[in-house]
């Protein structure tokens, strides 16, 4: 990469004259490091930061000449890159789980019994027992069921949410309160599973539990009341863990008034250290009263979240061809009906907002594109030009789908590390041919599409370095290479997890590159991941993480 001989310099786009005058007196910091990759094709020796924004990049000598009184900070590490941005995760759910009943580390039926029993004893009469991140495969599904939960309590409603967030299991009291007596009671887009004798076994897929967990404004919810201070403390704890792996921004992919209250409380308290975008769950969207973002780059609404099909790793995504999945349907589940989905998408679009639609299977993705292609190209209330609607996960594609994504101006948000975690499972469910074009980062980038990076945390670890390795090697944890034609080079993978994710929220002009006019969000790595063996990328550690030119985490 070339080093510019003269610095670039300009003020952030949209900065007012009054702001420029006020900032003229603020101290400037000059950052230097062993190697800086700006991801704009340059490798500046240094960059200058004022009031959280990068104002200039170039050689140290020239920046010193421009700012003789500036504080100089040497960043100790082998490589500095823009901060990692996870475009689809569920950080608020991870935090709320810690304030409720977190089952992440439970891997034994006796431990599960103890954890649920202890939670029952701490709650007032009538309160729901809500458990998060249950890994039933670790315990085996026929151990965790309605009968198991009834043996803990038949009177207190118990709902345990499986880690994928696509299914949950309930006891008899909960099923009764939800109005479920037989499998025929399941809503469209959901399933209630049964024992061989036809009795509900407690397991619920998709809308069978989601409609009551996320019912919408003015409707009763199953969410238990948890102290807000406990929630904000848990959020701060989770965010610190994210900073430790280099995360400076993320997009929370399901936000209701409960999660919004949590984020706003953290912002008001000054404890919201990363930059957060929120996707409002569609049942809470009101075209007459669209969500309003705070006047702060730390917290913004990015759009409205919808869900069209099931899970890639869970074997319930909607595909054109049958496959041996986990649902009773031969080709997966459709969560929203075509007409309902299209109507809701049109309302979001006509309000000038971004729609972010969960669609994993090729049939589901095609249905999303059908609906987007039917929209008027320029909604009257759009703030600035064409809206880039998003397809969350966008997992199983083909050349025709990729071409349609390009023409529609859609931003795909594929999983970063799912090949690492689920490579064998994806191949077994969908077959080798479909697996070749699952999470097709290479084909999308080659088509000129801005592609975002995401983890779907806490379903899998959020670690961006592991995701980068997965995108570069396409190798599963047990050594299976899935779709080698989709392998990326390291710089392209870095771009996906930085400016690609910023594009997904309409913020590519604000962050994702270390260039003048962008926010000074960056991460310092202990090794140069562009020159090491690609199978060792995940062993790289973060030395420090910076948001707005301020250190939010450093290695002990």
Q: Each residue of 66-106: pLDDT tens digit?
A: 999 999 999 999 999 999 999 999 999 999 988 889 998 89
Give the confidence band of 317 by pLDDT, cuts at 50, 70, 90: very high
Topology (CATH) of 8-75: Urease, subunit C; domain 1 (2.30.40)
- At residue 471, φ and ψ (nearest 5 deg) are -70, -30
Task: Give the Cα separation of 211 and 187 in Å (integer).
Answer: 9
Q: What does the block give as tokens for 7?
A: 């610095």
In angstroms, the CA 221 to CA 59 distance is 57
- Regarding beta strands 8-9 and 29-33, do their DSSP bridges make them parallel or antiparallel, or are they unpaired? unpaired
To the question of domain 101-213 being in CATH 3.10.310.70, the answer is: yes
pLDDT of 407 strictly over 80: yes
Give the confidence band of 164 by pLDDT, cuts at 50, 70, 90.
confident
| Under 8 Å between Cβ of 427 and 435 | yes
**Between 414 and 141, residue with greater pLDDT:** 414
SS (H, E, C) 381-448: CCCCCCCCCEEEECCECCHHHHHHHHHHCCEEECECCHHHHHHHHHHHHHHHHHHHCECCHHHHHHCC
Cβ contact 134:106 at 8 Å: yes
d(CA 285, CA 348): 8
Q: Report the pLDDT value the prediction gives residue 468, as an integer from 0 to 100.
A: 98
Q: Which residue in this structure is represented by tokens 């310099």? A: 9
Tell which wins on pLDDT, 470 or 218: 470
Please list the residues that pair with 281 across neighbouring strands: 305
**Closest among 383, 542, 372 to 551, alpha carbons compared:** 542
25 or 524, which is more confident: 524
**Residues contacting 268, CB < 8 A, separation 6+:** none
Judge whether 367 and 308 are in contact, CB under 8 Å. yes
| pLDDT reported for residue 213 | 84
Residue keyed to tokens 């709650």: 123
The radius of gyration of the chain's CA atoms, rounded to the nearest angstrom, is: 24
User: Is the pLDDT assigned to residue 261 strictly greater than 90?
Assistant: yes
d(CA 333, CA 308): 8
Average pLDDT over residues 363-387: 79
Q: Give me the pLDDT at residue 4, please.
A: 32
* pLDDT-derived band at 225, boundaries 50, 70, 90: low
Q: Looking up tokens 């999660």, which residue turns up?
A: 259
Q: Compute the mean pLDDT over every residue in the chain, rounded to the nearest whole number.
A: 91
E strand or H helix at 363, and its extent? helix 362-373
Which residues is 391 bridged to in the sheet? 357, 412
- pLDDT at 14 (0 to 100): 35
Cα separations in angstroms, 222 against 9, 126, 130, 175? 53, 11, 8, 12
- Per-residue buried b or exposed e for 16-55, using 16+ beta carbons within 10 Å of the residue's own CB: eeeeeeebeeeebbbbbbebbbbbbebbbbbbbbbbbbbb
pLDDT of residue 265 exceeding 70, the answer is yes
Most confident of 102-111, 129-138, 424-433: 424-433
State percent of the chain over pLDDT 90.
78
Which is the CATH superfamily of the domain at 231-508?
Metal-dependent hydrolases (3.20.20.140)
* pLDDT value of position 519: 98
Higher confidence at residue 379 or residue 535?
535
CA distance linking residue 91 with residue 78, whole number of Å: 29
| Main-chain phi, psi angles of 370, to 5 degrees | -55, -45
Which range scores top for mean pLDDT: 201-210, 211-220, 298-307?
298-307
The confidence score (pLDDT) of residue 210 equals 86
Cβ atoms of 353 and 303 within 8 Å: the answer is yes
pLDDT at 352 over 50: yes
pLDDT value, residue 25: 53
Cis peptide before 458 (omega within 30 of 0): yes
Least confident of 30-44, 196-210, 362-376: 196-210
Domain ranges (residues) in the chain:
8-75, 101-213, 231-508
Tell me what the mean pLDDT of segment 215-225 comes to. 68
Q: What is the mean pLDDT of residues 359-374?
A: 98
Q: Are strands 299-307 and 101-102 parallel, antiparallel or unpaired?
A: unpaired
d(CA 282, CA 335): 13
- In the chain, % of residues over pLDDT 70: 92
Residue with tokens 């040497």, as numbered in its chain: 74
Residue ranges of alpha helices (H) inside 31-135 are: 60-66, 91-99, 109-122
Element (H, E) at 473: helix 464-473
Q: Is 497 helix (H, G, I), strand (E, B) or coil?
A: helix
Query: What pLDDT score was predicted for residue 122?
Result: 87
């Amino acid at each position: 990469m070339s080093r510019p001989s003269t610095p670039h310099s300009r003020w952030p786009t949209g900065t007012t004259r009054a702001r420029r005058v006020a900032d003229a007196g603020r101290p400037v910091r000059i950052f230097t490091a062993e190697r800086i990759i700006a991801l704009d094709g340059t490798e500046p020796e240094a960059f200058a930061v004022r009031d959280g924004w990068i104002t200039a990049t170039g050689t140290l000598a020239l920046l010193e000449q421009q700012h003789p009184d500036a504080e100089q900070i040497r960043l100790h590490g082998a490589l500095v890159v823009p901060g990692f941005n996870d475009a689809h995760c569920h950080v608020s759910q991870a935090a709320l789980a810690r304030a409720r009943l977190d089952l992440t580390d439970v891997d034994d039926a006796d431990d599960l019994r103890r954890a649920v029993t202890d939670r029952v004893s701490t709650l007032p009469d009538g309160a729901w027992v809500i458990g998060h991140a249950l890994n039933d495969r670790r315990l085996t599904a026929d151990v965790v069921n309605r009968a198991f939960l009834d043996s803990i309590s038949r009177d207190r409603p118990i709902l345990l949410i499986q880690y994928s967030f696509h299914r949950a299991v309930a006891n008899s009291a909960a099923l009764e309160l939800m109005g479920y007596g037989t499998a025929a009671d399941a809503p469209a887009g959901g399933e209630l599973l049964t024992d061989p004798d036809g009795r509900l076994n407690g397991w619920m897929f998709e809308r069978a539990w989601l409609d009551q967990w996320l019912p919408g404004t003015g409707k009763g919810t199953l969410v238990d009341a948890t102290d807000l201070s406990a929630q904000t403390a848990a959020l701060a704890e989770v965010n610190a863990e994210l900073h430790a792996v280099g995360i400076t921004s993320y997009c929370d992919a399901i936000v209701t008034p409960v999660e919004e209250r949590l984020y706003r409380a953290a912002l008001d308290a000054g404890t919201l250290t990363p930059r957060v975008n929120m996707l409002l769950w569609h049942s809470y969207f009101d075209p007459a009263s669209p969500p309003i973002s705070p006047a702060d780059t730390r917290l913004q609404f990015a759009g409205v979240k919808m869900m069209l099909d099931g899970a890639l790793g869970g074997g319930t995504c909607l595909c054109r061809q049958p496959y041996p999945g986990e649902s009773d349907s031969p080709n997966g589940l459709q969560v929203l009906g075509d007409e309902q989905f299209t109507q809701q998408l049109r309302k979001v679009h006509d309000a000038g907002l971004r729609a972010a639609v969960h669609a994993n299977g090729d049939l589901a993705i095609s249905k999303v594109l059908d609906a987007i292609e039917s929209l008027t190209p320029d909604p009257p209330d759009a703030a600035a030009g064409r809206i880039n609607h998003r397809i969350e996960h966008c997992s199983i594609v083909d050349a025709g789908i990729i071409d349609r994504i390009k023409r529609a101006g859609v931003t795909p948000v594929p999983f970063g590390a799912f090949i690492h975690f689920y490579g064998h499972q994806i191949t077994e469910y969908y077959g080798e041919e479909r697996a070749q074009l699952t999470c097709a980062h290479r084909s999308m980038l080659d088509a000129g599409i801005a592609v975002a990076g995401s983890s779907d945390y806490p379903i899998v670890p959020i670690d961006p370095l592991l995701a980068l390795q997965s995108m570069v090697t396409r190798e599963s944890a047990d050594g299976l290479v899935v779709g080698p034609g989709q392998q990326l080079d390291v710089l392209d993978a870095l771009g996906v997890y930085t400016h690609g994710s910023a594009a997904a929220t309409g913020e590519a002009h604000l962050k994702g590159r270390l260039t003048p006019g962008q926010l000074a969000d960056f991460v310092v790595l202990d090794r140069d991941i562009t020159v090491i063996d690609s199978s060792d990328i995940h062993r790289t550690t973060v030395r420090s993480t910076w948001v707005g030119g301020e250190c939010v985490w450093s290695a002990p």
